[in-house]
Amino acid sequence: MIKFNLNGKDVEVNLDPSSRLLDVLRNHFNLTGPKEGCGEGECGACAVLVDGCIIHSCCFPLANVNEKEVVTIEGFSTTKRYQTLAQSMLEEGGSQCGICTPGMMIAAESLLNQNPKPTDEEIRIGISGNLCRCTGYNMIVKAIQLAAKKGDGLW
């Protein structure tokens, strides 16, 4: 039995501990915000937070979340920090097709958790594990800058 906190709720699952966390989230908990883009930890579309830090759930065995806090985009989207980031993404045009966006939001949250006032370069490094084929990243970088400014004190 694996016990963890998922989006603020304590949960228990009796599944193969070597299952990919991504599959457990999508299939068992019906949380389809995390996406599978590459299945090998390159693209970051499957990103979720484990104890506040970004991980690629496609390469993360279920066993590793035992007794930990897992937050997916579904959980993150109930927070004030999310609202600030979402609004900044809207204003700067940081989302196009949207498939990378939930992972990108998680990457931004993870970055701002560690570094509430990142420089342009630090943002680029912070989201470099998340691939986006639509935007060329600049509008996402600007959105994170804007969120850091507008959300002063939130992170």
Q: How far is the CB of 107 from another protein (least distance, A)?
A: 9
Closest CB to another protein among residues 62, 127:
127
Given 22, 111, 132, 147, the residue binding another protein (CB under 8 A): 132
Q: Does 115 bind another protein (CB under 8 A)?
A: no
Which are the contacts of 30, defined by CB distance < 8 A and separation ≥ 6? none
Transcribe 5-46 into DSSP letters. Answer: EETTEEEEE-S-TTSBHHHIIIIIS---SS--SSSSSSS-TT
Cα–Cα distances in Å, from 110 out to 6, 53, 69, 134? 17, 5, 14, 22
Q: Residue 15 CA to chain centroid, in angstroms?
A: 23
Stretch that binds another protein, among 10-18, 37-45, 59-67, 111-119 (CB under 8 A): 37-45
| Three-point CA angle 57, 72, 3, nearest 5° | 75
Cα–Cα distances in Å, from 42 out to 36, 54, 91? 10, 13, 28
Interactions with another protein, residue window 73-92 (CB under 8 A):
73-74, 77, 85-86, 89-90
Q: Does 6 bind another protein (CB under 8 A)?
A: no
Q: Does 151 bind another protein (CB under 8 A)?
A: no
Q: Does 109 bind another protein (CB under 8 A)?
A: no
Q: Does 150 bind another protein (CB under 8 A)?
A: no
Residues that bind another protein (CB under 8 A): 26, 30, 32-40, 42-43, 45, 72-74, 77, 85-86, 89-90, 93, 95-102, 105, 123-125, 127-141
